[in-house]
Amino acid sequence: MGKTNGKSKVDPEALDLDHELPPAEADEAEGAGPQAVAKPAADSSELQKLRSERDTLLDRLARLQAEFENARKRAAREQQEFRDFATADAIKALLPALDSFERALQAPANQQNEFRNGVELIYKQMQDALTKLGVQIILAKGQQFDPRVHEAIEMVETTEVPDHQVVDELQRGYKLKDRLLRPAMVKVAQNSKH
């Protein structure tokens, strides 16, 4: 080990902090007297203090990681429970319509008028259930084409209605509050005169 300005340089990798000083410093410490022996003892107690702090911080870190993982799992479980609860409510709202379908299918086939009335009743029950869940019908026929809520399936040449007006609805569209569930499939007027 080289000496610079009367002080010895110590290679950190050569130090064995748990046991002894490097051989060169151990020789110097022996010749220096009682003051040199006190310094390694102070270093040893500071080293123990640092190790204790490190262990405490590592333990804290492990606990925080475990708490975070538990909180993440709890949040995922609560989200799934909420989805299940919401799904159950939606299904309960649709069950009366399903019951009516079953009764309609059990009716004798020769009573067409009653069958139609039953289907109309079921349709009304379904609409009421969806309305209670917050579902709204997207208006289409007679409306100006809106690409945000309408899906054009066909362009129809006509002079009877203004350009880009919906002339026919092929499939009804629905929204849940402000969220589009399904766009309305429509035929749109193409009127070159307007």
Q: Both 88 and 33 in a single domain?
A: yes
Q: Is 138 helix (H, G, I), strand (E, B) or coil?
A: strand
Assigned token pair, 186: 């429509």
Amino acid letter, 116: R
Whether the predicted pLDDT of 123 surpasses 70: yes
Question: What is the torsional sign of CA 177, 182, 186, 192?
Answer: positive
Indicate the range of 72-76, 82-86, 113-117, 132-136 predicted with least confidence.
113-117
Over range 97-125, report the average pLDDT.
Answer: 80
Q: Both 51 and 125 in a single domain?
A: yes
pTM confidence score:
0.53
Whether the predicted pLDDT of 19 surpasses 80: no
Within 13 Å, how many C-alpha atoms sit on residue 108's CB side?
2
Assigned token pair, 120: 């109309």
| CATH code: domain of residue 84 | 3.90.20
Residue 10 falls within a domain, yes or no? Answer: no
Q: Both 70 and 138 in a single domain?
A: no
Question: What is the share, in percent, of the chain residues with pLDDT greater than 90?
Answer: 41
Over range 123-144, report the average pLDDT.
Answer: 90
Domain count, the chain: 2
Last residue of a domain, one of 106, 133, 160: 133
- In this structure, are residues 152 and 145 in contact, taking their beta carbons and an 8 Å threshold? yes
Last residue of a domain, one of 87, 108, 133: 133
Residue 160 falls within a domain, yes or no? Answer: yes
Domain limits for position 161:
134-194
CA distance 138 to 104: 28
How high is the pLDDT of residue 40? Answer: 66
Q: Is 1 helix (H, G, I), strand (E, B) or coil?
A: coil
